[in-house]
């Protein structure tokens, strides 16, 4: 495989054509070798427009979905980001390239180790991966500027808003098949959340989150 050509084609043919036009985001995607984060058995699919299986029934999202999530988070260099659902660490690395620090939570110990290895191999040193399932505990309230969920949820738990600074935002894929939507939820001054639907997409479920709750944004 011509890695350089495959990476170029991924960015130009899959990602740009899916309304990802932010030059900084495109630069991060072009400069990060996705193959470093793909299980060896699926190396031939590293730059393909497809989800890639990981251990424990998890998946890497298609590159265009990671790219669109990254673009719509609109990260600033000084910001601190929480990711829930590390997987192989690919989106984690993209986030780390775009901000000051990333805390990423993964519910499978094997994937925590894998992601830590992959991030080190890619030279990413401003991201830490921790073992955690579902709504996190033990994190300081108001500690994060932004949050992204690495898989879909039926609903975004309201407790996640407490982890954000005022006007911080969550980006998540919300809903049930066949209708899911990438949604940005911004924490208001009174602690409530304002929800804005961005685009339609279907992604695998994020493990550890309930299918139903009594709270709706």
What distance in Å separates the CA atoms of residue 47 and residue 28, rounded to the nearest whole number?
15
Q: What is the per-residue pLDDT for 214?
A: 45
Fold classification of 64-200 is Rossmann fold (3.40.50)
- Enter the pTM of the model: 0.94
Q: What is the pLDDT of residues 29-80, one digit of tens each?
A: 999 999 999 999 999 999 999 999 999 999 999 999 999 999 999 999 999 9
Lowest-confidence pick of 121-125, 128-132, 137-141:
137-141
Q: Are 44 and 35 in contact (CB under 8 A)?
A: no
**Residue 10 DSSP class:** I
Is the pLDDT assigned to residue 217 strictly greater than 70? Answer: no
Q: What is the Cα–Cα distance from 2 to 7, expressed in whole angstroms?
A: 9
Query: Which string of DSSP letters, residue by residue, matches 52-117?
Result: EE-GGG-EEPPHHHHHHHHHHHT--TT-EEEEE--TTSHHHHHHHHHSSEEEEEES-HHHHHHHHH
């Amino acid at each position: 495989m011509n890695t350089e050509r495959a990476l170029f084609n991924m960015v130009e043919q899959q990602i740009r054509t899916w309304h990802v036009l932010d030059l900084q985001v495109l630069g991060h995607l072009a400069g990060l070798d996705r193959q470093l984060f793909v299980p060896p058995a699926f190396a031939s699919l590293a730059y393909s427009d497809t989800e890639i299986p990981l251990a424990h029934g998890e998946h890497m999202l298609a590159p265009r979905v990671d790219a669109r999530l990254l673009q719509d988070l609109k990260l600033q260099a000084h910001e601190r980001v929480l990711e829930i659902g590390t997987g192989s660490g690919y989106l984690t690395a993209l986030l780390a390239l775009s901000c000051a620090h990333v805390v990423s939570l993964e519910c499978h110990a094997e994937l925590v180790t894998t992601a830590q290895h992959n991030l080190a191999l890619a030279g990413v040193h401003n991201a830490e991966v921790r073992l955690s399932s579902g709504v996190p505990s033990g994190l300081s309230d108001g500690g994060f500027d932004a949050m992204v969920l690495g898989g879909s949820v039926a609903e975004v738990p309201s407790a996640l808003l407490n982890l954000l600074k005022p006007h911080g935002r969550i980006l998540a894929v919300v809903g049930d098949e066949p209708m899911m939507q990438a949604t940005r939820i911004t924490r208001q001054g009174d602690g409530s959340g304002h929800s804005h639907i961005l685009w339609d997409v279907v992604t695998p479920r994020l493990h550890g989150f309930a299918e139903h709750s009594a709270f709706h944004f």
